[in-house]
Amino acid sequence: VQICNLTCTQHWVVYLKLLQEAIWPGGTLPKWPKPVRTQEQKAQTQELAFHCLMKMLPALVPEILGEEGYKKTWQLVLESLQDPMINRHLIYCIWDLLLEFLIPEASSEEFQKSLLACASGSSEKILI
């Protein structure tokens, strides 16, 4: 149920508004970059994220995996998200899914050919 709620199309509006506010607070780009966070602040954020993740799934999952296995699983997830290559790949996958959701015809071969023709300045017939 929680996964369905997280991926519900009604929640995408909220997610996009939060993302927009995070990138453009107040609708404008920030004049100065955010101050660099200290190692202590990063550790506190990681600890908070870990506790939030631990509470996210129903109590049945830790019972199945065992408390220690459940903790190790979430620790592995958090450690994995510290890798820039994994994060970059995750962002690309999310963008791919988002574009496929917003523009379903983008996965069709005809649309891709017409897009390439348009981008290359080709005089071929554009199918839109």
Going from N- to C-terminal start, the domains of the chain cover 57-104
Instruction: Please compute, for residue 98, the number of CA atoms within 13 A of its CA located in the half-sphere on the CB side.
Output: 10
3-class SS of residue 108: coil
pLDDT-above-70 percentage for the chain: 93
pLDDT of 49 strictly over 90: no
Q: Which pLDDT does position 15 carry in this prediction? A: 85
Whole-structure pTM value: 0.48
Instruction: Please compute, for residue 79, the number of CA atoms within 13 A of its CA located in the half-sphere on the CB side.
Output: 6
The answer to whether the CB of 49 falls within 8 A of the CB of 77 is no
Q: What is the mean pLDDT of residues 91-96?
A: 91
Per-residue model confidence as pLDDT tens digits over 1-44: 667 777 777 888 888 888 888 888 888 877 788 789 999 999 99
- Chain-centroid distance of CA 122 in Å reads 35
Q: What is the mean pLDDT of the chain?
A: 82
